[in-house]
Amino acid sequence: GTQVEWKEFEKSKVYMADLESGLHYLMRVELATHKTLEGEELKTFKDFVTVVAKLFPGHQSVVKLLETLLEWLVSLPLEKIPYDAILDLVNNKMRISGLYLSEQVQWVGCQGSSVALRGYPCSLWTLFHVLTVQAANRPDALANTGFEDDPLAVLQTMRRYIGTFFGCQECGKHFEEMAQESLNQVKSVDDAILWLWRKHNQVNARLTGSMSQDPMFPKTQWPTPDLCPTCHEEQEGLHVWNEQMVLAFLRQHYGASNISPKYSS
Ligand code: FAD
């Protein structure tokens, strides 16, 4: 049935199960709607796999699988890749070598009060926040990828992934508008972390009270004072963010050591 048991979780943690389930959904469901990848789509997918393979702070077996997929994509002389070939590789590599990407979705911090709510889009936001923090913490990770010294590596990859593959096309359109407006102001990896936080809050504000909101998880301006009291200040009676504190909080919250292995394989 579709009834899933509720999983206890802490709002102050990030869950590996959500990140792995997001990758599972991305590779096996979202990508499956594209029968072949070619041209810009193929380039976008390759860049996405590059950034995730180099920066994903996951289990060795998942990282290894992503690296294998990347080597294969880079070495193939094809201009067109059938989706089935990607799926075969992901499945076969896993079977042969025990490389592992969860076989099913298991939402934890991203679970919703019904199966139609939260889940994948929540995990995608979470993944990209984690990747922006990893890019700042591991400046050499993208060496020899074509992305070295590029503070926009993660955000440009996200922008193109969302615009090309993300099932919600309206989301892609909104995200593209935000990127065109202000992505060129991002000059450092710390700016990139804060840009994504600011834009995510802008989306939260737009969606407050909308249909896509899970009544059990109302949209907020995040992090709320209970999660980060020092992020919030008042100036002349108005709320303002202390962005230095927000940055420190994001680096802690989305940092590798705050990712819980609970419920993950
Ligand atoms: P989400 O917004 O998915 O957030 C997931 C988790 O991230 C939260 O639980 C919280 O822990 C944390 N978080 C919240 N805010 C921030 C922040 N500012 N910075 C860092 N972490 C934060 N839906 C639409 O209906 N219209 C759209 O235009 C739209 N655009 C989208 C664009 C993108 C790029 C993505 C990935 C999703 C978009 N969605 C859109 C989906 C929507 O934003 C939510 O993902 C979805 O409604 C599920 O919401 P949620 O409650 O799980 O929280």
pLDDT digits (tens, 9 = 90+) for 111-166: 998 877 899 999 999 999 999 999 999 999 999 999 999 999 999 999 999 999 99
Question: Cα-atom radius of gyration of the chain, to the nearest Å?
Answer: 18
pLDDT digits (tens, 9 = 90+) for 171-214: 999 999 999 999 999 999 999 999 999 999 999 999 988 877 88
pLDDT digits (tens, 9 = 90+) for 95-116: 777 767 777 789 999 999 887 7
Closest ligand 1 atom to the C-alpha of 119?
52
How close is the Cα of 76 to the center of ligand 1, in Å? 35
pLDDT digits (tens, 9 = 90+) for 115-126: 778 999 999 999
- Whole-angstrom distance, CA of residue 236 vs CA of residue 240: 10
Q: What is the ipTM of this complex?
A: 0.99
pLDDT surpasses 90 at 36: yes
Within a domain: residue 6?
A: no
The CATH number of the domain holding residue 181 is 1.20.120.310
- The pLDDT score that the predictor gives to residue 3 is 59
pLDDT surpasses 90 at 76: no
**Count: domains in the chain:** 1
* CA 250-142-181 angle, 5° bins: 55
The protein residue whose alpha carbon is closest to atom 4 in ligand 1 is 122
- The pLDDT score that the predictor gives to residue 2 is 56
Within a domain: residue 3?
A: no
- The pLDDT score that the predictor gives to residue 89 is 86
Q: Which DSSP string corresponds to 187-231?
A: -SHHHHHHHHHHHHHHHHHHHTTSTT--TTS---SSS-TTT-GGG
Peptide bond into 229 cis (omega under 30): no
Q: Per this entry, what is the length of the chain? A: 265
Within a domain: residue 9?
A: no
How close is the Cα of 235 to the center of ligand 1, in Å? 28
User: Cα dist. 4→7, 106, 113, 114, 115 in Å?
Assistant: 9, 9, 10, 9, 8
How close is the Cα of 118 to the center of ligand 1, in Å? 8
Q: Is 207's C-beta closer than 6 angstroms to any atom of ligand 1?
A: yes
Within a domain: residue 155?
A: yes
pLDDT surpasses 50 at 9: yes
Domain with 244, as residue range(s), is 14-260
* CA 165-156-30 angle, 5° bins: 15
Within a domain: residue 114?
A: yes
Q: Is 217's C-beta closer than 6 angstroms to any atom of ligand 1?
A: yes
The protein residue whose alpha carbon is closest to atom 39 in ligand 1 is 171
Within a domain: residue 2?
A: no
- Residue 240 makes CB contacts below 8 A (sequence gap 6+) with 233, 234
Q: Is 212's C-beta closer than 6 angstroms to any atom of ligand 1?
A: yes
Whole-number percent of the chain with pLDDT over 90: 78
- The pLDDT score that the predictor gives to residue 1 is 43
Within a domain: residue 1?
A: no
Distance between start and end Cα atoms, the chain: 22
Q: Is 121's C-beta closer than 6 angstroms to any atom of ligand 1?
A: yes
- The pLDDT score that the predictor gives to residue 213 is 82
How close is the Cα of 19 to the center of ligand 1, in Å? 14
How close is the Cα of 190 to the center of ligand 1, in Å? 20
Whole-number percent of the chain with pLDDT over 70: 98
Closest ligand 1 atom to the C-alpha of 112?
52
Higher pLDDT, 94 or 32: 32
How close is the Cα of 27 to the center of ligand 1, in Å? 20
pLDDT surpasses 80 at 67: yes
- Residue 133 makes CB contacts below 8 A (sequence gap 6+) with 193, 250, 251, 254, 255
Within a domain: residue 8?
A: no
